Amino acid sequence: MKQVVVTTFGGVENLQVQTVTDPHPDPNEVIINLTSIGMNQADLTARRGEYRLSSGEPPFTPGIEGGGVIAKVGGAVTNRTVGQRVILKLGAPAGIGTYRSQFVAPAADTVLVPDGINDVLIGALWLPFLTAWGALVWRQNVQPGQIVLLPAASSSVAIAASQIVKQRGGITIGTTTSPSKVEALQNLSAAQYDHIIVTSDTAQPWWKTIKQIAQAEGKRRGVDVIFDPVAAGDFLHHEIRLLAKGGTLWIYGLLGTPGTVDVSPLIRKDAAIRGWLLNSIAGTAAEAKAYAHILENVAAGTYQMPIAGTFSLDQVNAAQTAMEKGTHIGKFILRP
Ligand SMILES: NC(=O)c1ccc[n+]([C@@H]2O[C@H](COP(=O)([O-])OP(=O)(O)OC[C@H]3O[C@@H](n4cnc5c(N)ncnc54)[C@H](OP(=O)(O)O)[C@@H]3O)[C@@H](O)[C@H]2O)c1
């Protein structure tokens, strides 16, 4: 089988595709031929050595999600059979990495995939949809009529979040740094933004436009929830000022450039800034509920995820280079 290994921290040239012996399952394990490996920003930051918490030291195999078809089952496995389509549970790839053609996992760490979900997508659903569902539904319990601000509107997580918030009757405002993506996002059924704002717009600062939208929606005091992967410097400074009284800003990524932020409005607004890491749902009762909710909605077509591009494992350098450019909308997927 093939696996990708980060040989040293650094650029894409440090991604090496190796051929190793095919694995054999222990009694409680299954071997999965991965058909879909969702790529994530975390894979890139791990390769650069900026996310050692996730990667450890090289050599390591990147990748935190994946799905495929069971190729072998261990002797003690009774609830899985060869040919079934499965997705790895959240915790399964930790310390192993999914950039590989075959994955060995305990049968208990797999989730069966219903009909109606494309093979290409099955390994690229958890990170966008679970990240958004976990924070916005499980933790925040977004309510009908609430205004939710979703920065990085073209990102897979924000696109998933837009669908989840609309399903709950909320009002979605996406912000993007990329004027060139606006028309595509407006035409994309998966991107359910009521408003899309370009943060580099020179006609009027982005936060003024959002304030006007909130006022027009009847929320004179601002935005109820911000679900933010930028979360730094000037952007964060203005987000805090957009929050409604009692509002919450969830930080789930650190894409922005650090800078000085005056947090004083949080006091009179009785507002909160909270962090969110998807792993905190693993092992809870909500985990299984979230898997079922996502699979049901994707199978029914009510949740969709645009595919930015697909690459073979041998093309992993080109795949990460493309992702690093930041011109994409949705998910890049490796297809061994
Ligand atoms: N906490 C968690 O559990 C968790 C889980 C999954 C992902 N994440 C984080 O979520 C973020 C998005 O992940 P993803 O996989 O959805 O990424 P993605 O699909 O590759 O989207 C990246 C997008 O972020 C925007 N962006 C990039 N750099 C930016 C900057 N400096 N300032 C503002 N916007 C910037 C761009 O969108 P526009 O062109 O539209 O501006 C870019 O296309 C990453 O930071 C990732 O690490 C966190």
**Annotated domain spans of the chain:** 2-125+305-334, 133-279
Token pair of 23, please? 């694995």
52 pLDDT more than 80: no
CB 272 within 8 A of CB 266: yes
Task: Tell me the whole-structure pTM to 2 decimals.
Answer: 0.97
* Of residues 113, 1, 28, the one with CA closest to residue 67: 113
Q: Domain 133-279 belongs to what topology?
A: Rossmann fold (3.40.50)
Specify the pairing of strand 102-106 against strand 85-88.
Answer: unpaired
Residue 321: C-alpha distances to residues 13, 315, 324, 326 (Å):
10, 10, 5, 9
Q: What is the pLDDT of residues 205-262, one digit of tens each?
A: 999 999 999 999 886 679 999 999 999 999 999 999 999 999 999 999 989 999 999 9
Residue type, 120: V
CB 71 within 8 A of CB 33: yes
Token pair of 111, please? 């989730």
Whose CA is closest to atom 22 on ligand 1? 155
Pocket test for ligand 1, best of 54, 155, 173 (most atoms within 8 A of CB): 155
Of ligand 1's listed atoms, the one at least distance from the Cα of 185 is 40
pLDDT classification of 56: cutoffs 50, 70, 90:
confident
Residue type, 308: A
Whose CA is closest to atom 23 on ligand 1? 155
Q: What is the pLDDT of residues 89-122, one digit of tens each?
A: 999 999 999 999 999 999 999 999 999 999 999 9
The set of residues, in sequence order, having a beta carbon less than 8 Å from that of 55 and lying 6+ positions away, is 6, 46, 47, 49, 62
Give the Å distance between the CA of 229 and the centre of ligand 1. 6
- Options 3.40.190.10, 3.30.70.141, 3.90.180.10, 3.20.20.70; CATH of 2-125+305-334: 3.90.180.10
